[in-house]
Amino acid sequence: AQSVTQLDSQVPVFEEAPVELRCNYSSSVSVYLFWYVQYPNQGLQLLLKYLSGSTLVKGINGFEAEFNKSQTSFHLRKPSVHISDTAEYFCAVKEYGNKLVFGAGTILRVKS
Amino acid sequence: EPEVTQTPSHQVTQMGQEVILRCVPISNHLYFYWYRQILGQKVEFLVSFYNNEISEKSEIFDDQFSVERPDGSNFTLKIRSTKLEDSAMYFCASSLTPSADTQYFGPGTRLTVL
């Protein structure tokens, strides 16, 4: 069965510093991978997704993620964060069918 | 930009009562979903719905739950007899197609069962 592990529950970082949010998944088949962001009192917004092709995926707000099949990882990165990036970030995987399987989420706290 | 909306934002109910959570998916989307997140836990899939039928459901989605598309715009989740453990944030989502397509989420309804 598919599962997603987000290795850090909270990541504090100073403004303009780089950040990496880690995500590992387990699945026996090919998957689609997603990163969603949730700002306070809002729904889940898609940051980026990997379906196939290039393993480096670029998303909105300057975020990117790299799919590593051998390590079953899909880590999210941003070279320079802003205060406005403070939010909770969710990694999710989809095999067959319709359902997304989510990780537990990582709270990114950007400090000035 | 089109968005998924949900009402109410917060619902408080007594154990054993029925609740209906409402969602308006993006207008040209054909696939609809409900997820929930119990406080401190992961977002979990409940059910997907297409062409007026449930296409997939999880183990959580037992006989106490039902979904309906009563008209051309709304998509509802009904819990017949709420339990304390139903307290959670419930998210509605929609997509144009299944599989690789992006699911667009609403802001959620926080359900509190007393």
Q: Which helix (H) or strand (E) holds B12?
A: strand B10-13
Taking contacts as CB-CB distances below 8 angstroms, the residues of chain B near A23 are none
pLDDT at B2: 79
Handedness of CA A42, A19, B41, A102 (dihedral sign): positive
Question: Among all residues of chain B, which has the CA nearest to that of A47?
Answer: B102
Q: Cβ atoms within 10 A of the Cβ of A48, count? A: 19
Asked whether the beta carbons of residue A98 and residue B55 sit closer than 8 angstroms, the reply is yes
Asked whether the beta carbons of residue B102 and residue A49 sit closer than 8 angstroms, the reply is yes
Q: Which helix (H) or strand (E) holds B5?
A: strand B5-7
Asked whether the beta carbons of residue A43 and residue B4 sit closer than 8 angstroms, the reply is yes
pLDDT at A96: 73
Angle CA A27–B96–A42, to nearest 5:
80
B67 vs B47: CA distance, rounded Å: 8
Of A45, A94, A102, the CB nearest to B43: A102
pLDDT at A45: 92
* Phi, psi for A19 (deg, rounded to 5): -145, 150
Q: B8-37 pLDDT, tens per residue? A: 999 999 999 999 999 999 998 999 999 999
pLDDT at A1: 67
pLDDT at B99 over 90: no
- Is the CB of residue A25 less than 8 Å from the CB of residue A4? yes
pLDDT at B100 over 70: no
B24 vs B98: CA distance, rounded Å: 18
Q: Which bin fits B51, alpha (ψ -120 to 50), beta or left (φ > 0)? A: left
Asked whether the beta carbons of residue B105 and residue A44 sit closer than 8 angstroms, the reply is yes
Supply the DSSP symbol for B102. Answer: P
Query: Is residue B101 very low, low, confident or very high in pLDDT (cuts 50, 70, 90)?
Result: confident
- Cα R_g (chain B), whole angstroms: 13
Q: B57-78 pLDDT, tens per residue? A: 999 999 999 999 988 789 999 9
Asked whether the beta carbons of residue A42 and residue B99 sit closer than 8 angstroms, the reply is no
Two tokens, residue A25: 């998944």
State the nearest Cα–Cα gap between A106 and chain B, in angstroms: 11
Which residues of chain A, if any, have pLDDT below 70? 1
Of B56, B104, B105, the CB nearest to A99: B56
Question: Among all residues of chain B, which has the CA nearest to that of A4?
Answer: B42
- Is the CB of residue B75 less than 8 Å from the CB of residue B105? no
Taking contacts as CB-CB distances below 8 angstroms, the residues of chain A near B91 are 43-44
pLDDT at B102 over 70: yes
